[in-house]
Structure 1
């Protein structure tokens, strides 16, 4: 079963209820426990959906056995923390101004503002992997995560679909789980080197502008 990222997610009434944006997995067992659905409303909401709610999955869509109302009952994936920029040690945070305030980086007319920082609520002991997460071979970066293939009986990952190459010469390479060394936050480390991966057969990626 595919669990593709950045594809439309359909609820039980076959209406599009959002898009898949992240996979949540146990890094020890390499079991996928949830995936994240981002709604398509003007103000996006993101929900943690257990993989048990997937009825059907293809490289182009995911069908759920829940309604849009039931989707909204799942645990939210993100929350917003408000920080005083004076108290933090880093810059370039998204900024929320009080009414009447005006700011232009790096200057501001009103200093009474706070920074709104979205934070992902990943379950304890698990990791989130987004589409485009880096894939590292033994001798350096080789490509990005395209999707995962899982065993539908136990939700364990069987293969990683690696998007290898540059924009005009990309291909998908299927990497068996046995060749994955470990998975960290948005980084997948392989046991293989670049030369070995380059020699593996792949499927050319078809782009809409071709």
Structure 2
């Protein structure tokens, strides 16, 4: 691993300055700048709220955990990642009236939930396939980022499963593009096979 890199592994434990907070649920990447801009942290405390944590609050991130520079109280004040928009029954009645439609029954209110991923960014959750030029090469397991700029230096790629699993660090320059649902590389599987296993002897 590059020296002093932020190891933003998905599902890694996250600690605030005053104790455990939760786990990394998503890493938010801005594809245009190639930077990790936010972490989405799933709080351990019920109801397991997802919080959008800006990269500036990441103090240290090693193979074992991510440490934030803020307290649990401050982290609890950060924006929730899942936003809920509530539409009351009067909203639907107003639509029906505008369309001059008679409803057979009164509608109920609806709540629509959506993620607060910043516009133009992609949320990596850890199950996205990584595609080489000749097919599927594995799945995303996290990213390594420069601690000062947030620029992604390596993509952590998990290949195989169970006893045959291995994790490699793919240089960011080999990433062709990030998309919602997948990461596309500019090299073939043979080139990835030549990369060393992060956890090998």
Normalization by structure 2: what TM-score? 0.80
Picking from 8, 13, 16, the partner of 2:13 is 8
| CA deviation string 1:74-100 (max 9, x = no partner) | 1110024679xxxxxxxxxxxxxxxxx
- In the TM superposition, residue 5 of structure 1 has moved relative to its aligned partner by 1.3
Q: Kindly tell me: are residues 201 and 12 of structure 1, through their superposed partners in 2, closer, same or farther at Cα, counting changes over 3 Å?
A: same
Q: Is 1:140 paired with 2:144?
A: no
CA RMSD of aligned residues (A): 2.3
Higher helix fraction (1 or 2): 2
Aligned to 2:61: 57
- In the TM superposition, residue 152 of structure 1 has moved relative to its aligned partner by 1.2
Structure 2 unaligned residues grouped into runs of 5+: 1-5, 88-106
Q: Is 1:153 paired with 2:148?
A: yes
Normalization by structure 1: what TM-score? 0.77
Q: Is 1:172 paired with 2:167?
A: yes
- In the TM superposition, residue 114 of structure 1 has moved relative to its aligned partner by 8.4
* Counterpart secondary structure, 2:157: strand
| CA deviation string 1:184-210 (max 9, x = no partner) | 1131110111122123221348xxxxx
Equivalenced residue count is 177
User: For the residues of structure 2 that align with 1:114 and 1:167, how far apart are their CA atoms?
Assistant: 46
